């Protein structure tokens, strides 16, 4: 604390990212990164961008990331003008709060969801109301069709992993026409249907995606928003009042190359999904209740074991999972899908910890 802090800084509760342990070989299942590397074309593209002398780095990058947007537009069958790019989808979401969600009515998002949403709401002084998930952690979008300044939810949701059918999203869009509906699709490629195909029909729909998960590029920080050109213009107005060059040259080259290797992306998603199904079944066999997941993580609890204690015991074995000290979910662990070897290490450690309890 300092008398030099602004009022808003005094009031902030910053988001706390998952731990990045400084160990040689941690089993890191705590931040939903992809266990597989990005396409080899990404490495080639970065090398090409650097060249022999890295001379290109003297110059600022393309502020509009034109080539990247055109590549991603071709991938989704939309126009580059319908795409906004930012420094990770976190930054995209931040601009969304400022550009599109600050209105007279409070915005609505689920009570159990990505914990950055309330953080941004406080930072940008956007009023919000949370809508409770049901007992099985499902979102009921009909409950969002009330006067609001905007609606925001991830599909699949985090940290639960549960996905909504596109038909539910479309039903909400038909009823909620006076404010922006933001669908955060950080995990969509692991098992949900994308709403990008609806942006031509609903001028108030904004879909947010990232290269951090399915394209294995969390380290490059690239995220997108897809929507009507007027929504994209609002985001560009905020971006150009904040930082004209959010994506550096290497990030633009890397993300563009990743979108040009569809086979690699599909293969990596398929492997993660297969491991998720196996891990879910094995955790269930160990006595865990596992929420059905369409993401690259599972959300699970064990009736006989305190989740925080389990996370600490796993940490002692250099296995990192995420535990949230939050109402309704403090007995759950969020476990990112690792390689098969990492999933096995987790399962063996759990067998060890649960000991005689599991026959």
Ligand X SMILES: Cc1ncc(COP(=O)(O)O)c(C=O)c1O
Q: Extract the tokens encoding 188.
A: 């969509």
**Is 247 one of the binding residues for ligand X (CB under 6 A)?**
no
- 184 vs 305, which CB is nearer to ligand X? 184
**Is 35 one of the binding residues for ligand X (CB under 6 A)?**
no
Closest-CA residue to 198 (of 225, 231, 223, 169): 169
**Is 161 one of the binding residues for ligand X (CB under 6 A)?**
no
Q: Candidates 83-91, 169-177, 238-246, 298-306 — which segment interacts with ligand X by CB under 6 A?
A: 83-91
Tell me the number of residues near ligand X by CB under 6 A. 13
List residues bridging with 153 in a β-sheet: 183
Q: Identify the three-state secondary structure at position 315.
A: helix
Residue 119: CB atoms within 10 A of its CB come to 19
Q: To the nearest whole angstrom, how small is the minimum distance from the Cβ of residue 281 to ligand X?
A: 24
Q: To the nearest whole angstrom, how small is the minimum distance from the Cβ of residue 324 to ligand X?
A: 12
* DSSP 8-state assignment for residue 218: G
- 179 vs 209, which CB is nearer to ligand X? 209
**Is 223 one of the binding residues for ligand X (CB under 6 A)?**
yes
**Is 186 one of the binding residues for ligand X (CB under 6 A)?**
yes
Q: Which of 50, 57, 218, 286 binds ligand X (CB under 6 A)?
A: 218
Q: To the nearest whole angstrom, how small is the minimum distance from the Cβ of residue 51 to ligand X?
A: 28
Measured distance CA(92)–CA(87) in Å, rounded: 7
Q: Do the beta carbons of residue 97 and residue 141 sit within 8 Å?
A: no
The site string for ligand X over 91-110 (x = CB under 6 A, - otherwise) reads --------------------
Q: Which of 35, 38, 61, 88 binds ligand X (CB under 6 A)?
A: 88
Q: Identify the three-state secondary structure at position 227.
A: strand
Residue 79: CB atoms within 10 A of its CB come to 14
Q: To the nearest whole angstrom, how small is the minimum distance from the Cβ of residue 252 to ligand X?
A: 15
Q: Do the beta carbons of residue 157 and residue 115 sit within 8 Å?
A: no
φ, ψ of residue 132 to 5 degrees: the values are: -70, 135
Positions touching ligand X (CB under 6 A) are: 32, 88-90, 114, 154, 158, 184, 186, 210, 212, 218, 223
């Amino acid at each position: 604390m300092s008398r030099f802090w602004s009022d808003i800084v005094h009031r902030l509760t910053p988001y706390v990212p998952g731990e990045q342990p400084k160990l040689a070989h941690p089993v890191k299942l705590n931040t939903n990164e992809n266990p597989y590397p990005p396409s080899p074309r990404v490495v080639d593209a970065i090398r090409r961008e650097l060249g022999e002398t890295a001379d290109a780095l003297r110059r600022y990058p393309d502020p509009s990331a034109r080539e990247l947007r055109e590549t991603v537009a071709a991938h989704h069958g939309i126009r580059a003008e319908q795409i906004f790019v930012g420094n990770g989808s976190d930054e995209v979401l931040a601009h969304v709060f400022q550009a599109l969600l600050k209105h007279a009515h409070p915005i609505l998002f689920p009570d159990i969801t990505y914990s950055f949403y309330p953080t941004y709401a406080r930072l940008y002084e956007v009023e919000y109301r949370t809508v409770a998930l049901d007992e099985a952690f499902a979102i009921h979008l009909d409950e969002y069709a009330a006067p609001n300044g905007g609606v925001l939810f991830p599909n699949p949701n985090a940290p639960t992993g549960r996905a909504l059918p596109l038909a539910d999203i479309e039903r909400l869009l038909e009823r909620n026409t006076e404010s922006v509906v933001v669908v955060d699709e950080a995990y969509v490629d692991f098992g949900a249907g994308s709403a990008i195909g609806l942006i031509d029909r609903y001028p108030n729909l904004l879909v947010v995606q990232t290269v951090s998960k399915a394209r294995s590029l969390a380290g490059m920080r690239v995220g997108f928003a897809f929507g009507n050109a007027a929504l994209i213009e609002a985001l560009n107005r905020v971006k150009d009042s904040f930082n004209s060059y959010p994506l550096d040259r290497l990030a633009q080259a890397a993300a563009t190359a990743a979108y040009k290797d569809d086979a690699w992306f599909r293969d990596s998603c398929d492997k993660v999904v297969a491991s998720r199904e196996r891990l879910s079944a094995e955790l269930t066999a160990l006595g865990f209740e596992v929420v059905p997941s369409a993401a690259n993580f599972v959300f699970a609890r064990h009736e006989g074991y305190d989740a925080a204690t389990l996370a600490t015991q796993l940490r002692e074995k250099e296995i990192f999972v995420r535990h949230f000290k939050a109402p309704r979910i403090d007995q759950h662990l969020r476990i990112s899908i690792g390689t098969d070897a990492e999933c096995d290490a987790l399962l063996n450690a759990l067998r060890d910890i649960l000991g005689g309890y599991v026959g």
